[in-house]
Structure 1
Amino acid sequence: YLCAWQKKCYEAGLVGCDYPVEYGGGGHQGFQRIANQEMSRAGVPYLINVIGLGMAAPTILHHGTEEQKRRFLPPLLAADEIWCQGFSEPNAGSDLANVQTSAVREGDHWVINGHKVWTSLAHFAKWMILLARTSRDDKYKGLTYFICPIANTKGVTVRPLIKMTGETGFNEVLFEDVIVPDSLRLDEVGKGWTVAMTTLLHERGAAEGAGGGGGQSLEARIEALIELAKRTRRNGRSLWEDPVVRDRIVRLVVRAEAFRQTFRRARVEALCDHPMRIPLQSKLLSSELVQDIAAVALEVAGPYSTLYLGDDNAPDGGQWPLAYMNSYGITIAAGTSEIQRNILGERVLGLPKSK
């Protein structure tokens, strides 16, 4: 039903607002962020094609050929075709340039062999944005970026990975002599690292609401935490009346408001002194705040925080332990918090590299 939901949002003009009309978009620059924030505030279901919207679409728009843009963007926006991301590997996570999945050219196509891991949505995606090694001569210049067919493709095996929450949102994907036409290559051979940086820039920026809409906003999470504190009684009174609890929650409110105001100001082009600063800060601050909100909620719930989904006695249906466990993945995905700080320090602030 989530595919149908995104399609309805697309038909209502709430998805693809910023994209040119000729590629299936609305042609209204700057509207998508507002639409996403309003959908999050309303608590509507999230947009299922989150990787397509937040990563694949902007990458194709920036690096794709005219034919690729017209072929892939309209069905992506409408959720007629779901996308996944093939970057991480068993030995190439934080060190993304260590990708070993190979692509060997044979005439007008490429033969892909390798192993990708932590691939969200691969179990029902039709396409994957794939980073593969086309040369061993140079770590960075030896990478090339492809659009790879996944669904019902010979040589592609998708295996689910069970998370600690019991969910199966992640997958590992194995490639054995998978054929990809050269027409599905994005940008030039050996330019994969540059294209991948475009993808990561948008993946990190999606945390601020620039990618897919829906889901739960920071404000909604804090409001739910406040309601939990008001309902939870200890020693005969509501925890919302406890000054220590109120102080913990108010600190989260201040951080959320500082986050919102920082990026409202930074979106003014004249104040954007470095293109990487906004998405890097956005990903770092929002992911850590999401984790801290969930941690405080577990403290407020006390022993009841051990009750999980499906237990009638679990506060808020057991969403808080689920949110807490998932929050660790949020601080790791698209680069850990430590990596974000290193990049900000070295590339934005000009500090010496860490040893």
Structure 2
Amino acid sequence: MSDHAPSASELADFRAEVSGWLEEHNPADPGFLLPQTFMEVGSDQQLEFLREWQHKLWSAGYLGVHWPEQYGGRGMHPAFQNEINRELRRHRTPITFNVIGLGWAGPLILDIGTEEDKAKYIKGILSAEDIWCQGFSEPDHGSDLGNAQTRAVRDGEDYIINGSKIWTTMGNYAKYMILLARTDPTTKRKYDGLSFFLSPMHGTGIDTRPIQKITGEYGFTETFFTDARIPASCLIGGEGNGWRVAMQTLQYERGAAAGAAGGQVQVRVSIADLIDEVRSVKRDGAPLLEDPVVRDRLVQLIMDEKALGLADKRSTLGDLNSDYPMSLLLSYKLRVSEYQRRMRQYGLEIQGGLGGLYVGDEDTIAGGFWQRAYFNNFATTIGGGTSQIQCNIIGEQVLGLPKS
């Protein structure tokens, strides 16, 4: 990665280049429902459309531009990827769906993987040839990752895996999984007996079962390991160090660590979109925007969204974070997901009785977009650690509060 920080004019020129390319290559509406996030990819039709789009974006040099050239990136300064991401949002492009690879597995491998790991995995992540999923949560333990019971037993040059994982996003399509498994069940501290694997998903003894969401869409699976053999070379970070590696991975997932390849990871829904929607809604014959209570709620949401943007800028200035270092980064996932929940929920409230309709009903506002967006947001307030777990992290690691 280049250490040379680009000038304002260099970024402006690059942004114009990206914008011009997107104006020509941004895909048209395919005529079928596209996922709002990577957690709703539930059909082969959606998958192939999104795979083609990500490959096209990477081939043009607009994905992972700050990742090393020898692994498929361009070795540029991260500021260039930031400009790309802004243009992707502005042009409302489809999502770059391989998020677990682009945002979590890829940065981890680049940080602690061997040269063999980097050569084997990174380019396939960027090109969308290799889809990745995550094997952390288990049916009986939820967010208590330290209590994972999926077993990995060393047998010569292999590990034999037994157990199951739940909420495996795109598990039925993935080629690889970042897998947390217990290699030593005898340790006194549950965190000490875990190991981290870059596990293949195609092999005897590995099966997935799709899970239907409240939206009617798929995207999650439960994954079952039954005497599944994976090469010992899949281990990353050393045996028994899985908890440390998992925590490093979660820093990428929760936005507290940099390194993600970039892209448009979800359809951006902003307060401006909600206001545009409200303009066409009337109550008792009068425009809803004339209602002072509605206006007050919308202004509060505008303030909340503006505060999130300013907090992101503040997080890069150390002098403005000296009281509670890392507080903004560690709270990012909680703040954003809960704001999105409140805003999308209000998008339903202001529809009145029409808010009870759903996609496919001809009387829905915006085709049921807000209903679908609201239900899909539950995945973001749960995935990567529930909002309650995030509050515990902030209380303990930022504010220094006791566990009880």
TM-score (norm. length: structure 1): 0.94
Identity of aligned residues (%): 46
TM-superposition CA deviations, 1:90-137 (whole Å, max 9, x none): 122221100000000011111111100010111111110000000012
5 Å-filtered alignment, 1:299-310, equals 299-310=349-360
What SS is found at the alignment partner of 1:141? Answer: helix
| Alpha-carbon offset, residue 276 of structure 1 | 4.8
| Alpha-carbon offset, residue 342 of structure 1 | 1.3
- In 1, the alpha carbon distance for the partners of 2:166 and 2:102 equals 20
TM-superposition CA deviations, 1:303-346 (whole Å, max 9, x none): 11122112222111101111111212211111111211111121
| Alpha-carbon offset, residue 36 of structure 1 | 2.1
Task: Confirm or deny: 8 A CA contact 1:103 1:133 kept in the other structure.
Answer: yes
5 Å-filtered alignment, 1:313-352, equals 313-352=363-402
* Compared CA separation, residues 127 and 270, structure 1 to 2 (3 A): farther
Task: Confirm or deny: 8 A CA contact 1:37 1:209 kept in the other structure.
Answer: no
* Compared CA separation, residues 60 and 170, structure 1 to 2 (3 A): same
Task: Confirm or deny: 8 A CA contact 1:232 1:238 kept in the other structure.
Answer: yes
Q: Which residue of 2 aligns with 1:296?
A: 346
- In 1, the alpha carbon distance for the partners of 2:196 and 2:325 equals 22
Q: Which residue of 1 aligns with 2:66?
A: 18
- In 1, the alpha carbon distance for the partners of 2:136 and 2:76 equals 31
| Alpha-carbon offset, residue 241 of structure 1 | 1.4
5 Å-filtered alignment, 1:75-224, equals 75-138=124-187, 139-151=190-202, 153-205=203-255, 212-214=262-264, 215-217=266-268, 220-224=269-273
- Structure 1 residue 281 corresponds to structure 2 residue 299: no
Q: Which residue of 1 aligns with 2:281?
A: 232
- In 1, the alpha carbon distance for the partners of 2:317 and 2:59 equals 30
Aligned residues: 351
TM-superposition CA deviations, 1:255-307 (whole Å, max 9, x none): 11111111112123565657753442110110001111111110111111122
TM-superposition CA deviations, 1:35-65 (whole Å, max 9, x none): 2233123211000101111111111112211
| Alpha-carbon offset, residue 73 of structure 1 | 0.4
Pick the aligned partner of 1:47 from 96, 100, 113. 96
- Structure 1 residue 4 corresponds to structure 2 residue 55: no
- In 1, the alpha carbon distance for the partners of 2:242 and 2:231 equals 16
What SS is found at the alignment partner of 2:350? Answer: helix
- In 2, the alpha carbon distance for the partners of 1:207 and 1:307 equals 39
Structure 1 window deviating more from structure 2 (34-43 vs 133-142): it is 34-43
Structure 1 window deviating more from structure 2 (96-105 vs 302-311): it is 302-311
Task: Confirm or deny: 8 A CA contact 2:252 2:258 kept in the other structure.
Answer: no
- In 2, the alpha carbon distance for the partners of 1:178 and 1:70 equals 25
Task: Confirm or deny: 8 A CA contact 1:187 1:195 kept in the other structure.
Answer: yes
Amino acid at match of 1:177: D
What SS is found at the alignment partner of 1:342? Answer: helix
- In 1, the alpha carbon distance for the partners of 2:119 and 2:328 equals 29
- In 2, the alpha carbon distance for the partners of 1:265 and 1:140 equals 34
- In 1, the alpha carbon distance for the partners of 2:328 and 2:105 equals 19
Structure 2, unaligned stretches of length 5 or more?
1-48
Compute the RMSD of aligned alpha carbons.
1.9
Runs of 4+ in 1 over 4 A off after TM superposition: 206-212, 269-276
Task: Confirm or deny: 8 A CA contact 2:65 2:261 kept in the other structure.
Answer: no
Task: Confirm or deny: 8 A CA contact 1:19 1:29 kept in the other structure.
Answer: no
- In 2, the alpha carbon distance for the partners of 1:277 and 1:327 equals 23
Task: Confirm or deny: 8 A CA contact 1:131 1:145 kept in the other structure.
Answer: yes
- In 2, the alpha carbon distance for the partners of 1:249 and 1:132 equals 46
- In 2, the alpha carbon distance for the partners of 1:309 and 1:96 equals 35
Structure 1 window deviating more from structure 2 (261-270 vs 201-210): it is 201-210
Amino acid at match of 2:154: R
| Alpha-carbon offset, residue 25 of structure 1 | 1.3
Task: Confirm or deny: 8 A CA contact 2:107 2:260 kept in the other structure.
Answer: no
Q: Which residue of 1 aligns with 2:20?
A: none
Q: Which residue of 1 aligns with 2:121?
A: 72
Task: Confirm or deny: 8 A CA contact 1:131 1:196 kept in the other structure.
Answer: yes
Task: Confirm or deny: 8 A CA contact 2:152 2:162 kept in the other structure.
Answer: yes
Q: Which residue of 1 aligns with 2:110?
A: 61
* Compared CA separation, residues 226 and 302, structure 1 to 2 (3 A): same
| Alpha-carbon offset, residue 208 of structure 1 | 10
* Compared CA separation, residues 7 and 269, structure 1 to 2 (3 A): farther
TM-superposition CA deviations, 1:143-189 (whole Å, max 9, x none): 000011113x1111110011111111110000011111111111110
